[in-house]
Amino acid sequence: MPVSCNDRNLITDWGGVLSWDEIVALHVTKVDGIDHTVTILEFDCLNGEFIEVNADTLGFDVLRCKLADYLPLPIDWYDQIEATQIGESLTLFDRRTRTS
């Protein structure tokens, strides 16, 4: 099941089309996939639901490279993902907790 994105949407076979504006938070988790580490991106949505995309999903690498184009991520977001250890979770941004 592939995932893709464009300047307006995150698109998955299992979660449908989600506007970038509908994403309120992005979390990263790394888990032990027995023979390799699996990175999971969890996109929290305005409606209270979430969509998970893992590193084994077709299109994951393209999505991961484009995230900062569409979401307000910290400057070092990529390094933060790389530094996350197996079993750890990281919140890269959360619009619900941001102050202006």
Picking from 45, 50, 47, 6, the residue whose alpha carbon sits closest to that of residue 24 is 45
Helix (H, G, I), strand (E, B) or coil at 37: strand
Residue 99 lies in a domain: no
The residue with tokens 């990281």 is: 90
Residues with Cβ within 8 Å of 56's Cβ and at least 6 positions away in sequence, in order, are 33, 38
Say whether pTM exceeds 0.75. yes
- What is the reported pLDDT for 98? 60
Residue 17 lies in a domain: yes
36-61 residue pLDDT tens: 999 999 999 999 999 999 999 999 99
Measured distance CA(90)–CA(44) in Å, rounded: 13
Residue 57 lies in a domain: yes
Residue 74 lies in a domain: yes
Residue 24 lies in a domain: yes
- What is the reported pLDDT for 42? 96
- What is the reported pLDDT for 96? 86
